[in-house]
């Protein structure tokens, strides 16, 4: 099964120095570990970059990919303006052209972009693996970021086409 590794919204404006993301450094390290493992396989890397007026403007320093990412020439880039990386983008077309059937998801944010993209992908027939400890979010008034990530890992795992695995488990394959 051909796999794509979707790295969602790992941008300077989200993962920057002043960011208060839950386990930010651990998430970046887990993405690095998975990237290293997946680079040894015929995995397509797809970097999904969010655009929002006044927050992460297209091509601004905040919009750029975080410098810890292992970006290479064969990788693809998807610009999005919605939490769903498939909505009004070329992602589905790009994946279909390459015969991709399975997606590994990581990045930001557990409760919006990871959640919406995972369900959208599964609804379009992709098998999806969420990397449980390689996505993150911010605290909200009603829940901590850790509780949000735990909750979304649980509810996403209940979809028949979505599995949730830890970085350690994934990298031991």
Domains of the chain with CATH codes? 3-171 (3.40.50.850)
**Residues 47 and 65 sit within 8 Å (Cβ to Cβ):** yes
Q: Tens digit of pLDDT for each residue in 10-28?
A: 999 999 888 889 999 999 9
DSSP state letters, 108-120: E-IIIIIHHHHHH
Mean pLDDT (whole number) for 25-35: 97
Q: What is the pTM assigned to this prediction?
A: 0.96
- At residue 160, the pLDDT reads 97
- At residue 137, the pLDDT reads 97
Q: Tens digit of pLDDT for each residue in 61-105?
A: 999 999 999 999 999 999 999 999 999 999 999 999 999 999 999
Alpha-carbon gap, residue 73 to 54, rounded angstroms: 29
């Amino acid at each position: 099964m051909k796999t794509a590794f979707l790295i969602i919204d790992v941008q300077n404006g989200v993962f920057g120095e002043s960011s208060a993301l839950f386990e930010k450094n651990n998430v970046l390290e887990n993405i690095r570990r998975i990237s290293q493992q997946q680079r040894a396989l015929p995995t397509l890397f797809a970097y999904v970059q969010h655009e929002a007026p006044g927050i992460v403007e297209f091509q601004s320093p905040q919009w750029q990919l975080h410098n810890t990412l292992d970006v290479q020439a064969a990788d693809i880039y998807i610009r999005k303006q919605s939490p769903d990386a498939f909505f009004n983008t070329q992602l589905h077309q790009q994946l279909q052209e390459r015969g991709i059937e399975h997606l590994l998801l990581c990045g930001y944010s557990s409760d919006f972009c990871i959640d919406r993209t995972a369900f959208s992908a599964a609804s379009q027939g992709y098998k999806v693996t969420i990397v449980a400890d390689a996505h993150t979010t911010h605290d909200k008034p009603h829940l901590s970021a850790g509780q949000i990530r735990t909750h979304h890992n649980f509810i996403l795992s209940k979809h028949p086409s979505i599995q949730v695995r830890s970085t350690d488990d994934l990298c031991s394959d």
